[in-house]
Amino acid sequence: MGSQEQLSSSFRDPNGFIFKTNGELYRQINKSYQDSYDHLMSSGLYEELVGLDLLIPHSETGYEEINSHADQAGAYKVIKPEIIPYISYPFEWSFSQLKDAALCTIRVQLLALKYGMVLKDASAYNIQFRQASPIFIDTLSFDLYQEGEAWVAYKQFCQHFIGPLALMMYCDERLSQLFRVYMDGLPLDLVSRLLPKKTWFKYSLLSHVHLHAKTQAHYANMAEDSSGGKKIQSRKISAFAFEALIKSIESCVVKMHWHLSDTEWGDYYSATNYEDSAMLHKEELITEYISQLPDRPGLAHDLGANNGHFSRIVASLGIKVISQDIDPTAVEKNYLHVKSSSETNILPLVLDLTNPSSDMGWQLQERDSLLRRCHDSFVLALALIHHLAISNNVPLEKVAEFFASLASILIIEFVPKQDSQVQRLLATREDIFPDYNKQGFEKAFSQYFTITRSEVIVDSERTLYLLYRVG
């Protein structure tokens, strides 16, 4: 019998769950969801959503084929969804990525309503990026629409999309990191307090955030307590009013725009210390290093990717690239470039390597850390090590240990002290890094990696390495 593992991220849904058997991903659909699933598949909704690349496609299978130890007694169907190469989370997305995820959710809901169905939840975690575009992945989120019912997912949508987008737009784009604290969306009362007063004069935000927050507080005070109080009666709305609400939300999201800020590294490559010859040589070396790999990887992680210049070099070789940087402005520019150029092999994400995504949720098992998702990967770390070692005081031995936890194959650039970018970092602080040199770098990384190749980049002091993790 094959080994079976239920994924901890799907335990909350009583209608089914995700599990793995022999490394393959499946979703069990319970008998409690039979009517909704049958309607989804027979009404034409599934075909339209999949045809528009709005819903992840799946195939149906059976227990006999997968040797599953799942709950066969309670099961109605087992489906095999298409695999997303890399799972990302809302706090790793740029403003436009979160906005596009919101619009994807709205499009799914509007089409569902046309076929007599609604989304019972509108979590941002139900969206992933496939070929750099957002797609809905929760097949069990569709319920049969009942005339007069309000949208049960309205609050969740506002907490997962409208609130965070408004904070990024009117306050600071870094406030998306609040998702790491509030995994089920940002509380609307908190969002309301953080937003500037001028947003009270924006009808959409007044309606979907400020008054929504006050309504929540009002009904929370009316909720039935242990002594027996008033019960909240659900407000009935017509199908017309339901659709009008969704379109009002859509209009709110469409009008949201973030004006790119000028950050320290947002225009790194336009203000770089590289000579043209050095840049060209570095591009050539990366291509050579990848070409000599015995097995070309299907996925690469470009850490400290800035606007994605070298991610595109890697992607041109037929490799999917997770293009990650700490600067949300750089990531936003990267994503907008991906969209405008219709690139499908690059996924820009926000990542702080000194405080990467950790395990989150119930028992720290619902959302996987960077270390879990990037384990045994092909990793590029270009023009990055000086930021870790000097800006953040991380010893080279610790930097090497960290990369060994991520990468089985590593292309890394060493930037010495005489480089102008390092001199810039040292200009306002004492040089307390006597071991930060090429010899110290090679000694530290040789504890975990075999140095397969190293080349000095022409017209620079920098060295590009190809490393294989030992063992």
In terms of domains, do 33 and 62 share one? yes
Cβ-in-10-Å burial (0-12, 13-18, 19+) of 340 comes to exposed
| Beta-strand pair 377-381/407-414 | parallel
Quickly count: other Cβ atoms within 10 Å of residue 204's Cβ.
18
CA distance 251 to 249: 5
Domain assignment present for 285: yes
Nearest Cα residue to 330 out of 305, 303, 310 = 305
In terms of domains, do 287 and 345 share one? yes
Output the six-digit token pair for 115.
Answer: 């076929």
CB 348 within 8 A of CB 335: yes
Domain assignment present for 24: yes
CATH number of the domain bearing residue 310: 3.40.50.150
Domain limit, last residue, from 223, 254, 285: 254
The model's pLDDT over 45-95, given as tens digits with 9 standing for 90+, comes to: 999 999 999 999 999 987 665 555 455 678 899 999 999 999 999 999 999
In terms of domains, do 189 and 110 share one? yes
Domain limit, last residue, from 200, 228, 254: 254
pLDDT confidence of residue 27: 92
In terms of domains, do 248 and 274 share one? no
Task: Provide DSSP, 25-53.
Answer: EEEEEEGGGHHHHHHHHHSSHHHHHHHTT
Domain assignment present for 261: no
Domain assignment present for 260: no
CB 415 within 8 A of CB 337: no
Find all residues with CB under 8 Å of 96, minimum gap 6, and list them: 258, 332, 335, 336, 339
Indicate the helix (H) or strand (E) that contains 154: helix 154-157
Residue 2 in 3-state DSSP? coil
Domain assignment present for 440: yes
pLDDT confidence of residue 230: 47
In terms of domains, do 304 and 439 share one? yes
Q: What are phi and psi of 348, to 5 degrees?
A: -75, 140
Nearest Cα residue to 306 out of 341, 280, 271 = 271
Domain assignment present for 350: yes
User: The tokens 């699933």 sit on which residue?
Assistant: 37
Residue 400, domain extent: 268-469
User: The tokens 């040797």 sit on which residue?
Assistant: 67
In terms of domains, do 102 and 219 share one? yes
In terms of domains, do 94 and 212 share one? yes
The model's pLDDT over 351-364, given as tens digits with 9 standing for 90+, comes to: 999 999 999 998 88
Q: How far is CA 110 from CA 78, 142, 157, 240, in A?
A: 27, 12, 14, 12
Q: What are phi and psi of 439, to 5 degrees?
A: -65, -45
pLDDT confidence of residue 365: 86
The model's pLDDT over 399-436, given as tens digits with 9 standing for 90+, comes to: 999 999 999 999 999 999 999 999 999 998 899 999 99
In terms of domains, do 290 and 359 share one? yes
In terms of domains, do 192 and 250 share one? yes
Quickly count: other Cβ atoms within 10 Å of residue 225's Cβ.
9
Domain assignment present for 425: yes
Q: What are phi and psi of 27, to 5 degrees?
A: -130, 125
In terms of domains, do 335 and 354 share one? yes
pLDDT confidence of residue 222: 52
pLDDT confidence of residue 2: 46
Nearest Cα residue to 269 out of 325, 195, 211, 350 = 325
In terms of domains, do 365 and 462 share one? yes
DSSP single-letter state for residue 367: B
Domain assignment present for 259: no
Low-confidence ranges of the chain (pLDDT < 50): 1-2, 69, 223-232
Strands (E), 354-462: 377-381, 407-414, 449-456
Domain limit, last residue, from 26, 54, 81: 81
Q: How far is CA 106 from CA 98, 132, 134, 248, in A?
A: 12, 18, 12, 10
Q: How far is CA 448 from CA 286, 320, 424, in A?
A: 21, 26, 30
Nearest Cα residue to 37 out of 120, 140, 135 = 140
In terms of domains, do 169 and 295 share one? no
Number of domains in the chain: 3
